[in-house]
Amino acid sequence: MKKKFNKKELADFKKMILKRKEEILDEIQHISDDTLKKSQKEASGDISGYTYHMADVATDTYDREFSLGLASSGRELLYELEDALKRIDDGTFGICESCKSTITKTRLKAVPNARFCVKCQEKKEKR
């Protein structure tokens, strides 16, 4: 096993993770505001009294479901980032959960919630 990260490096990663969490929370809030708080008519931009065409309703429904899917993905990433913060606190951040080697700084800067080194991640994805 290689050396762990020093306190300054861990503080930098923590700051990066907290910033990313804030960005995701903003995105989820924006999606929620746009998708959930508007009525079907407002979401479609049709505020007239006319009824919808079935194709428009289907498109609007798809758009809302797509937006909700994005919000759900954002929530999953939030959980993963929370988990990364816990790993910083308990001293296991940056250590591959599979082979126990140190995950590279480059990988952690790109994916701060990474739990596996590149080799182990590739093996996992091939399965």
The residues, any chain, with a CB within 8 Å of residue 56's CB and separated by 6 or more, are: 44, 46
What residue spans define the domains of the chain?
A: 7-93
**pLDDT > 90: what percent of the chain?**
50
Q: Which two tokens stand for residue 16?
A: 């990066």
- What Å distances lie between residue 120 and 34, 73, 84, 93, 124, CA to CA? 39, 23, 17, 16, 6
| Helix (H), strand (E) at residue 123 | helix 118-126
Backbone torsions φ then ψ of 118, nearest 5 degrees:
-60, -45
This prediction's pTM: 0.68
Under the banding of pLDDT at 50, 70 and 90, the label for residue 98 is: very high
For residue range 1-51, list pLDDT tens digits in order.
456 789 999 999 999 999 999 998 888 787 777 765 564 555 555 555 455
**pLDDT for position 27:** 83
Q: Which two tokens stand for residue 11?
A: 């503080």
